[in-house]
Amino acid sequence: MHIETLRWEGDRPGHVQMVEQTLLPLEHVEIAVRTVPEMVDAIYRLAVRGAPAIGVSAAYGVLLGIQEDAGMEAGALVAKVGEVCDTLAAARPTAVNLFWALNRMRAKAEKDHAGGANGEGIVSGLFEEAHAIFHGDRDTCRRMGEIGAELIHDGDTLLTHCNAGALATAGMGTALAPMYVAKEQGKTIHVFADETRPLLQGARITAFELMHAGIDVTLITDGMAARVMFEGKVDAVFVGSDRIARNGDVCNKIGTYSVALAAQAHDVPFYVVAPLSTVDPSLDSGDLIPIEERAPEEITEGFGKRTAPEGVKVYSPAFDITPARLITGIITEVGLIEQPTMAKMEDALRRGGVDLSGIETA
């Protein structure tokens, strides 16, 4: 069984219960998030992380900010929804699901207001929308898992980078979902998990999650990925994504590009597993995706222990871009996009119900 990352507790007023991921794997505890500032803090410091989970958390964060305002005048309430969305949007810059979810919540409030809803109606509508985002993510994860599992054969050894499992979503994960479904199907698989610096999500979270699910996993450092491919030990790579450009360029945790280059050099299929909500159709290429830079201390004194000289310069981008030309396929809820191009990405978006006509591109 995979781990449940977060959930809404109670009705109104309610709160969010989530796994405190910064304590994994030494402690598996949940925290209660009751206010918008607490949700911003949870997203920023990676108590909750992974693009889909961040999106769901943001939607629930809106509820935290307006759940007791049903008596407010409708226009003022819509304005407050916008303010709450703006506050949550500042938590992290790269994961597009954050903005996708907030835009859905903002649009829902505006639509209900335009339809004549009062404050109570707007709040009720936002609760429905947030829960729909939560359940939609769970369904999407399952669907991607089923599609991706078709690419996994009994006895395969897979490699993954960072964490794109249940703890990165509201469901069973993105990149790990095909592994979970493959296990359900009775396939025997083995997984190499890159540790993924600087915060070691692969070591702390992916390894923990796969072991919890009973999947055979071996932890390696980031620099070992090419070696195990050279030794012929990897049949395919599965990774997630925080944002995908319209042309199929993929943004994921730093080090993913290196894994893709190594996979190409050793003729290992490289798959990205991500919902269409992770695609940003307003950006024509990955060069335009904003890359978050993390605090130097995460490298120089990670987890409270200094491992670098005082005063050394540090460059710490949290993500990199893998060009579409290195990607064997992108697995989405509408199917596998093989060797992604802009035309193929646009076709998948349309099949997923995305109207591209009004989207300005950069």
Annotated catalytic sites, by residue?
Answer: 242
Tell me the two tokens of residue 218.
């071996």
C-alpha 41/C-alpha 31 separation (Å) is 12
- Cβ atoms of 239 and 148 closer than 8 Å: no
CB count within 10 Å of CB 71 equals 10
C-alpha 280/C-alpha 286 separation (Å) is 10
Contacts of 257 by beta carbon, 8 Å cutoff, 6+ apart: 320, 321, 322, 326
Tokens 């697995």 — which residue? 331
Closest CA to 123 of 59, 83, 68: 68
Tell me the two tokens of residue 280.
């940003």
**For the chain, what's the residue count?**
362
How many Cα atoms sit within 13 Å of 360 on the Cβ side?
1
DSSP E strands: which ranges in 136-275?
157-160, 190-194, 216-220, 236-239, 243-245, 250-253, 270-273
C-alpha 269/C-alpha 20 separation (Å) is 33
Tell me the two tokens of residue 169.
């979503």
Whole-number CA gyration radius for the chain: 20
Cis amide bond preceding 13, omega within 30 = yes
Q: Angle 282-168-53 (CA atoms, 0-180°, nearest 5)?
A: 60
C-alpha 121/C-alpha 146 separation (Å) is 37
Residue 287: phi and psi, rounded to 5, are: -60, -20
